[in-house]
Structures are given as C-alpha cells and as structure tokens.
A and B are shown apart, each in its own frame.
Chain A
Amino acid sequence: MSRKLTMIQAITEAMDQMLAQDPRVMLLGEDIGINGGVFRATEGLVEKYGPERVVDTPLAEAGIIGSAIGLAMNGMIPVVEIQFLAFIYPGFEQIVSHAARMRYRTRGQFEVPMVIRTPYGAGIRGPELHSESVETYFAHTPGLKVVAPSNPYDAKGLLIAAMEDRDPVLFLEPTKLYRAFKEDVPEEIYRVPLGKAKVVSEGDDVTIFAWGAMLREAMQAAKKIEEEQGWKCEVVDLRTLYPLDRDTILSSVKKTGRAIIVHEAHRTAGLGAEIVSLINDEALIYLKAPVKRVTGFDIPVPQFSVEDAYLPTVERVQRGIVETLSF
C-alpha cells in the first residue's frame, strides 16, 4: 500500500518506523523534541518514543555530533539533525577527523554507524547561511557517504538505507522540496540502495546530471527543450554523491555523447568537476561536445532578494543544453 506523502512526511515516517523497529535508534538534535524540529521532521516522535530516544540536545553541533560518535561506537544508531547545513561547521572537525576515520584508525575494530540529516540548499527565502550547498566538503572526505534525495520515495528509502549502513552518512535534504509536492510512498519499510543513481527520464541527445532540488530544474528544462527544439534529454538523478554511481553516469554519457551537470553549489571544485573528470577519464572518445556545468556562482550564497539569480534556473539549464547541442 502506498499513499501520497511530501518529502518531509516521508522522512518522518522513515525515522518513525526505524525507531519502532530497532531499539538502538536514537534521534538527537536541537528542538527536535516537543517542537518537532524547525522543519517538523520529527513531529510527534518524542510523544511516541520518549525524550530518551528523541533527544532535545543542548545547542552545540560539535557536542551533538561528537557524542553521537560515542553512541554509535557503543552500539547505538544515532540519527542527528543539524538545523541547517551551514550550522554544521562547529561539528565539522568531529565529522572529518573522527566519524570518518574511526574505522580506519582502528582497522575495523570500531565503527561509527550514524546518520547526520540536515536541510540544505537555497530557494526558500531563508536568512543568511540558511541556504548553503557545500556537499563537496564532505564528498571530499574519505570515510563518509553523502546522500541527497530529490523526491519523497527516495527520501524514505535512502534514509532507511543510510540508517542501516555501517558507515557515517551525511543525509542532505533539499529544503525547497520538503513540502513542494507529494508522491506515492509505500507504507512499509524499504530501501533505496546507497551508491546508485537513477535514470529519471530517458533520452538520446544529451544527459543532464542533477541531484536534490536541482532535479526539478533539470526535468523542466528537459521538457521545454523537447517541446521547443525536439531534442530528447536523459535526466540522471545521482541520489548518492559519494560514492558516485560511475556505471550509470558513464553508460548514459556513452549513449548520448553529451552531458551537462546542474548543481546549486559553487562551481569551482564543486562535485560537477569530479563528474567531468570521470567522464574525461572513461568516456572521452564518446563525447561530441565539452561537458558543461550549470551551477551556483563562485560567490557566497547571497541574501534572498537575489538568490534566484544565484541558483541555476530552468532558463540557464536550457541555455546550457542548447550550447552543448549546438557545439
């Protein structure tokens, strides 16, 4: 059975069902108890599972992430909520120097199976530092996995898979999509495997790679291009940003011979560069045009009066496709 749920409902349901099923699961974060989290992702959970398992912590990201590392090492499955991605920085050292390295340093003797959930991305008219998209900091860190769903179905399945994973996972939730639309989400527990991209729509002329909130821009641009120019775009949702699904990326590019990457993160050293490099390494001779990047600009994510100009828009993606196809 499935019902129509928003992404935030799907995320809540994933945590709810995992809390019910596995006594090791604990939620930790600021305002996640009675308040249900600033985006209400944990609404109703403290009432169901109690304040010992759905824990309102002091306001301290290093403390939350660091103590979650200890909890995970000693047999719990902590799921941490950081209110916004840019607020994770006080806990950055805990993530990159400890969570990501504990397995390595102890040669597998101790592991840190934890999930850090955090809303990310622009487009919600947020205040400063509420709209960042800095996945690349984390995708650069060996030992971490980085996931970014673009729809309610994947959000639930990926979050459950992340909670069952034995390595620390950064789970990036596109703020803009929390309540943007509903879609069918099965009632039962299911997994969307980490490390697997998805071909969302098939085409032969050009591949568009996107993730998170940018999926919608990619899809709309693809639709318009087909209507206006008659070109068929293949759209690939990466879903997991580390490790990348190389096979899906390469097989699509080998088929279409053209690719553009859409991300709202800054361009320089953004994940797009990694995908370009991957294509360069393994599919260069299939290319009919240079791989294009349509991204956020190399400036701080600006205040919201101009955030629409910062973000890749359908129009910018369209222009990128036209440039690639008319190269």
Chain B
Amino acid sequence: MMVYSENQRKSFDETTISADMYQVLSEQGDLLSSLDGKIDDSLMLHMYEKMLLVRLFDRKSVNLQRQGRMGTYAPFEGQEASQVGSALALSPGDWMFPTYRDHAAAIVHGQDLYRIFLYWMGHVEGSICPEGKRIMPPCVPIATQMVHAVGTAWASKRKGEKTASIAYFGDGATSEGDFHEALNFAGVFKTPTIFFCQNNGYAISVPFEKQSASKTIAQRAAAYDIPGIRVDGNDIFAVYLMVKEAVERGLRGEGPTLIEAITFRYGAHTTADDPKKYRDQETLSQEWREKRDPLARLQKLLQKRGIWNEKLEEQWLAQMNEQIDLHLEKAERYPKADPVGMFEHVYAEMPWNIREQQEECRSFFKKDVKIS
C-alpha cells in the first residue's frame, strides 16, 4: 500500500523551508540579531507562557474529544509561535478573523477559553467574544474571511481610527479566488489589513507543491504590489516583529502586508482525520518537534538568559492546568442548550414564520404535550 508519494515526503524539505525566510531565533535557541529595544526579557517570558498555555489547551481539547466530551476539534500544536506571536503584535481593538485552527491567536487576543470549549462542544454561544473585542467567529469556509478583513480595515481607515485587521488562513486558502480578491482589494484601497498565512505544508492531505507551482506564498504579494514577507513561523520573535511592522505600516496608510509563516501542524487536520494516510506522519512530526519546536527553542534561549528553570516551568504548568480546568468546568456546567433559543438572532426582529416555528419547536419540548 502506498501511504505517501516520494514527492509528498519531500514536501517541506530543507531548501523549501529556508528560502528567504526571516529568522531571529535559531533552532538552537540563539539570537541571530539583536532584540534591543524590541523585545525585552519580560515580553520573552510572556510569549513563552502564552505558548505554553495554548499548547496545554490544545492537548486538553484533543483529549476531551477522545473522551467524547467535545465534538470534532482542529488542533494546532506546532503552530504556537505563529499564532501567539502574531496576536501579541496586535492592539486590543484590532479586528481578528481566525479560522477553525486559530484558537491560540483568539485566546491571546482576549477570547475566553471556555468560549472555545463551548464552540467545539456545539453551543451556539461559542463564538461570542468579550465585550469590546473584535474577534470574529472561526471562519469555516476557506479564504472567505480574508475579504471581510479588507472591509473592516477599510471602515477603520474611513473613520480615521488607528485600527488594523488581521486575517488568518492556511496554505490551501491561497488557491481560492477570495485570496486573490482580498489581496487585490486591499492593495487598491490600501487598507490596514494583515494577511497572515500559516503555511503548514498541507491542506488536509494535499502538500503545498500540489497546491501551487509558486515556490513561496510570499512571492504572490509582488503581483499586487504589496509587501510579501516570509518568516520562520516557529520563531515567535520573527513572527511578532514582522506582524508588528505590518500593523504599523498599515496604520501609516501604506496598505496591507502578506506574511507567510512557515510552520507545521504536528497532529491531524482535525480529530476526524488520520494523517498517516497521506504523509509519513511519525517521521515528519518527530523531525519538526526535534528540530524546530517553537516552545523548545524559546525555552533554550530563556534558559541561557537565566530566566527559565524547571521549577518555574512546573509552577506555570500547575497554574495553567488549573486555569484550563476552571474554564472547562465553566463550559461543562454551561446551561444545557435550549432548543428554542436557536431561533433567536436570525434577524434583528424575528419574522412571523420563525416565531411560529419557534412555538412549534417549543411544543415538542413541553412534557405535558401528548401526540394524539
């Protein structure tokens, strides 16, 4: 049985990975350029803590799905630096358009953990974000949210607000028409939009070289005459600095930026997917974990700088697990979904047909109703 082709095995080989890729933190945990005045020790620690938190959250979610306590879930382990680094570069009021794999970004931007649990537990309230935040529900179709991020940024610009919009998407999304339309619109109207692509090498099973003849995604930016940047998506400093620059550029009125962050999802596309079917899962994920893990390499640097030790890590783990458990408890204790509530919020004012169907539905949930 052929599990994967030779071509697929080569996907994401060393040359593809390193082609013109901006990197600050080497795989060995060494700084390749100075971070003076850009990232200080306390921000480094903050970055590490956030990555640790979301990794624990992700693993917890996969386990919950396995235990039948949650529905299908899309894990992101391996992509923490891309998501946490990009989200930390934003201001609290910036608009965020995540996909179904970007909970880490949403968490860092202020989404509550229990909401994300609720979303994957199938609650209609799972996409509500904290008051005043602009964290959109995870986009389920591919690339369609990219044009929304053009629109919100365009409105901010028209209103004279210093607010950027960031759209998250994967390598597969770059084949969609909406990818093109979004980049083109943003270029024409110079909207402060950051198109943040996590190129993890696979759109479910299809490797990037089957997705496109382009060597890189960043190079597509040239066609729209906007900046296109390729960063090491497992290097949180590189991601953070490039997104920050892109936000600043946007707010100066210089338009959008396309960022391609090279990363890898260690696990399956979703809990319903088996990556062994289409790639040499064990070798690949082991290779990425050992060579390029986003947490491990930052941990090495922190250790060298004397601001990390195992005791500290244990403390964090304990605190974070507790925090996650509290949110899980909140999600699991969340009031049982009221089917009648599903009729709300289709329109600002409920039309007669929905109102009557709501009554019809309600009548089936009244215990004393007998069907004669």
Are B344 and A94 interface neighbours, CB within 8 A?
A: no
Are B346 and A62 interface neighbours, CB within 8 A?
A: no
Are B151 and A58 interface neighbours, CB within 8 A?
A: no
Are A66 and B156 interface neighbours, CB within 8 A?
A: no
Assuming A70-B165, A74-B151, A93-B144, is B345 touching A108 (CB within 8 A)? yes
Residue from A58, A70, A243 in contact with B148 in the complex, judged by beta carbons closer than 8 Å? A70
Q: Distance (Å) between the CB of B116 and the closest chain A CB?
A: 14
Q: Distance (Å) between the CB of A271 and the closest chain B CB?
A: 14
Are A104 and B346 interface neighbours, CB within 8 A?
A: yes
Residues in B with CB closer than 8 Å to A21 are none
Which residues, 152 to 178 on B, are CB-close (under 8 Å) to A? 152-156, 158-159, 165, 177-178
Which residues, 305 to 346 on B, are CB-close (under 8 Å) to A? 344-346
Q: Distance (Å) between the CB of B174 and the closest chain A CB?
A: 15
Cβ of B128 within 8 Å of any chain A Cβ, yes or no, is yes
Are B178 and A71 interface neighbours, CB within 8 A?
A: no
Residues in B with CB closer than 8 Å to A97 are 140-141, 144
Q: When chains A and B are docked, how far (Å) is the Cα of A70 from the Cα of B166?
A: 12
Cβ of A268 within 8 Å of any chain B Cβ, yes or no, is no
Q: Distance (Å) between the CB of A28 and the closest chain B CB?
A: 10
Cβ of B351 within 8 Å of any chain A Cβ, yes or no, is yes
Are A67 and B128 interface neighbours, CB within 8 A?
A: no
Residue from B137, B154, B177, B184 in contact with A70 in the complex, judged by beta carbons closer than 8 Å? B154
Are B151 and A103 interface neighbours, CB within 8 A?
A: no
Cβ of A75 within 8 Å of any chain B Cβ, yes or no, is yes
Are A143 and B346 interface neighbours, CB within 8 A?
A: yes
Q: Distance (Å) between the CB of B129 and the closest chain A CB?
A: 7
Give 1 or 0 for each of B126-139: 1 = CB within 8 Å of chain A CB. 01110000001100
Cβ of A300 within 8 Å of any chain B Cβ, yes or no, is no
Residues in A with CB closer than 8 Å to B141 are 93, 97
Q: When chains A and B are docked, how far (Å) is the Cα of A66 from the Cα of B154?
A: 12
Are A94 and B147 interface neighbours, CB within 8 A?
A: yes
Cβ of B194 within 8 Å of any chain A Cβ, yes or no, is no
Cβ of B114 within 8 Å of any chain A Cβ, yes or no, is no
Cβ of B188 within 8 Å of any chain A Cβ, yes or no, is yes
Residue from A57, A73, A105, A243 in contact with B127 in the complex, judged by beta carbons closer than 8 Å? A105
Are B150 and A70 interface neighbours, CB within 8 A?
A: yes
Interface SS majority for chain B: helix
Give 1 or 0 for each of A157-186: 1 = CB within 8 Å of chain B CB. 000000001110000000000000000000
Q: When chains A and B are docked, how far (Å) is the Cα of A66 from the Cα of B185?
A: 10
Residue from B153, B158, B180, B185 in contact with A57 in the complex, judged by beta carbons closer than 8 Å? B185
Are A66 and B144 interface neighbours, CB within 8 A?
A: yes
Residue from A60, A75, A108, A110 in contact with B136 in the complex, judged by beta carbons closer than 8 Å? A110
Are B353 and A106 interface neighbours, CB within 8 A?
A: no
Are A69 and B345 interface neighbours, CB within 8 A?
A: no
Most B Cβ at <10 Å: residue of A57, A105, A110: A105
Q: When chains A and B are docked, how far (Å) is the Cα of A287 from the Cα of B346?
A: 33
Q: Distance (Å) between the CB of B177 and the closest chain A CB?
A: 6
Select from chain A the residue with minimum beta-carbon distance to B119: A105
Are A74 and B348 interface neighbours, CB within 8 A?
A: no
Q: When chains A and B are docked, how far (Å) is the Cα of A107 from the Cα of B119?
A: 13
Cβ of A8 within 8 Å of any chain B Cβ, yes or no, is no
Cβ of A132 within 8 Å of any chain B Cβ, yes or no, is no
Select from chain B the residue with minimum beta-carbon distance to A108: B345
Which residues, 30 to 66 on A, are CB-close (under 8 Å) to B? 52, 55, 57-58, 60, 62-63, 65-66
Residues in B with CB closer than 8 Å to A62 are 144, 147, 177-178, 181
Cβ of B25 within 8 Å of any chain A Cβ, yes or no, is no
Assuming A93-B141, A243-B352, is B148 touching A73 (CB within 8 A)? yes
Select from chain B the residue with minimum beta-carbon distance to A242: B351
Are B155 and A70 interface neighbours, CB within 8 A?
A: yes
Q: When chains A and B are docked, how far (Å) is the Cα of A108 from the Cα of B178?
A: 26
Residue from A63, A145, A166, A243 in contact with B184 in the complex, judged by beta carbons closer than 8 Å? A63
Residue from A52, A70, A145, A195 in contact with B152 in the complex, judged by beta carbons closer than 8 Å? A70
Q: Distance (Å) between the CB of B126 and the closest chain A CB?
A: 9
Q: When chains A and B are docked, how far (Å) is the Cα of A103 from the Cα of B125?
A: 12
Cβ of A284 within 8 Å of any chain B Cβ, yes or no, is no
Q: When chains A and B are docked, how far (Å) is the Cα of A142 from the Cα of B149?
A: 24
Give 1 or 0 for each of A87-129: 1 = CB within 8 Å of chain B CB. 0001001100110000111111111000000000000000000
Q: When chains A and B are docked, how far (Å) is the Cα of A67 from the Cα of B351?
A: 27
Cβ of A68 within 8 Å of any chain B Cβ, yes or no, is yes
Q: When chains A and B are docked, how far (Å) is the Cα of A166 from the Cα of B348?
A: 6
Are A63 and B125 interface neighbours, CB within 8 A?
A: no
Q: When chains A and B are docked, how far (Å) is the Cα of A107 from the Cα of B125?
A: 7
Q: Distance (Å) between the CB of A14 and the closest chain B CB?
A: 21
Are B346 and A98 interface neighbours, CB within 8 A?
A: no
Q: Distance (Å) between the CB of A171 and the closest chain B CB?
A: 16
Select from chain A the residue with minimum beta-carbon distance to B182: A63
Select from chain A the residue with minimum beta-carbon distance to B356: A246
Residues in B with CB closer than 8 Å to A325 are none
Cβ of B48 within 8 Å of any chain A Cβ, yes or no, is no
Which residues, 253 to 291 on A, are CB-close (under 8 Å) to B? none
Residues in B with CB closer than 8 Å to A65 are 147
Assuming A76-B158, A104-B345, is B147 touching A69 (CB within 8 A)? yes
Select from chain B the residue with minimum beta-carbon distance to A74: B155
Q: When chains A and B are docked, how far (Å) is the Cα of A58 from the Cα of B181?
A: 8
Q: Distance (Å) between the CB of B156 and the closest chain A CB?
A: 6
Select from chain B the residue with minimum beta-carbon distance to A60: B181
Give 1 or 0 for each of B95-133: 1 = CB within 8 Å of chain A CB. 100000000000000000000000000001101110000
11 interchain pairs (CB within 8 A)?
A66-B151, A67-B151, A68-B151, A70-B152, A71-B154, A72-B151, A75-B155, A94-B147, A108-B348, A243-B353, A246-B353
Chain B positions near chain A (C-beta within 8 angstroms): 95, 124-125, 127-129, 136-137, 140-141, 144-156, 158-159, 165, 177-178, 180-182, 184-185, 188-189, 344-348, 351-354
| Given A67-B147, A106-B136, A143-B347, 17 further pairs, Cβ under 8 A | A52-B158, A62-B177, A63-B184, A66-B182, A67-B151, A67-B154, A70-B148, A73-B151, A74-B155, A94-B147, A97-B140, A98-B145, A105-B127, A108-B345, A108-B348, A142-B354, A165-B348
